[in-house]
Structure 1
Amino acid sequence: MQLNQPSALENALSHLQCVLVARRTRINPEQITWAQYDVLEILRIRGPMMPSIIGETLGMSRSTTSKILRVLKDKQLIEQTARREDRREQTTSLTDNGEEFLACTAKNRREAAEIAASILTLGEQSIFAELCQKVALALQENQSEL
């Protein structure tokens, strides 16, 4: 019985994923998980949010969100404060340490983009960026259907 051989596209996506994960692992002394990183990123992009909104936005259960927030709080990357409207509800936001961590990861992304730019023409860069966005959107849409 012969197993289906992966396509060139599947191999390319797998290889790129491996390289990007290895690169991220090297610059992650805090050992932040992908889910924790996603929480930090959503807070960077959207600003302070209630835990329930963070969980809904990222498709996480309430208990998973709570565990992630507890770890990030222990690592002093986020802080939680009572909301004015209802003191029982918490608003989660990045700390200075959290913003510094994200600045470091942004530096790593810029370095990766500079490496890509050094080997791709401007036209290829544009096509690559457009295709990455197209594939990422399709993968996100497919994930929400699962």
Structure 2
Amino acid sequence: MIQPDQPGELENALSHLQCVLVARRTRINPEQLTWAQYDILEILRIRGPMMPSVIGETLGMTRPATSKNLRVLKDKQLIEQTAREEDRREQTTSLTDSGRAFLERAATSRREAAEIAASVLTPGEQSIFAELCQKVAAALDDNQSRSV
């Protein structure tokens, strides 16, 4: 049983893992992007150029939040926006070379972390770890969804 004033082994392990992962993310994120901004870059990488309204709808962001995040990404030169041929008032958002380079750094960091994990876990432990991570992540996500 977990005591409210005494962190247990599981709480300590989760806290430590979170600290290590956040520190790794901070090192590869000198631009200090938020998760929402990272998600915008990822959706543009996967789907290609998009209109801001489609980006917001896809990621469940409000129009003001989408605009603010796009402005930050544009200021950091990670995206560019160009007027559409059909309607010059509408803009298409796409990744810049700097945006693609940022995403490549993030992917490289994830691969390195996976390689480090693989070096200390047997193949069986790797499968169990992956399964348990997915199970805990799903439970945390489900709990978050119910409390919003």
Verify same fold: TM over 0.5: yes
Question: Which deviates more, 44-53 or 135-144?
Answer: 135-144
Q: C-alpha displacement at 1:84, in angstroms? A: 4.4
The 1:75/1:126 distance shift into structure 2, 3 A limit, reads same
Q: C-alpha displacement at 1:131, in angstroms? A: 2.5
Runs of 5+ unmatched residues, structure 2: none
Q: C-alpha displacement at 1:19, in angstroms? A: 0.9
Q: Note the 1:30-109 alignment, pairs <5 A.
A: 30-109=31-110
Secondary structure of residue in 1 paired with 2:81: strand
The one-letter amino acid of 1:113's match is A
The answer to whether residue 10 in structure 2 is matched with residue 9 in structure 1 is yes
Secondary structure of residue in 2 paired with 1:49: coil
CA offsets per residue over residues 17-57 of structure 1, 9 Å max, x none? 11111111122222222221121122223322222232233
The one-letter amino acid of 2:125's match is E
Structure 1 segments of 4+ aligned residues over 6 angstroms from their partners? none
The alignment covers a number of residue pairs equal to 145
The answer to whether residue 19 in structure 2 is matched with residue 25 in structure 1 is no
Runs of 5+ unmatched residues, structure 1: none
User: Identity percentage over the alignment?
Assistant: 81
Q: d(CA) in 1 for partners of 2:23 and 2:124?
A: 28
Q: Provide the residue aligned with 1:124 in structure 2.
A: 125
TM-score by length of 1: 0.83
Secondary structure of residue in 2 paired with 1:91: strand
Q: C-alpha displacement at 1:71, in angstroms? A: 1.0
Question: Which deviates more, 102-111 or 30-39?
Answer: 30-39
Q: d(CA) in 2 for partners of 1:135 and 1:89?
A: 42
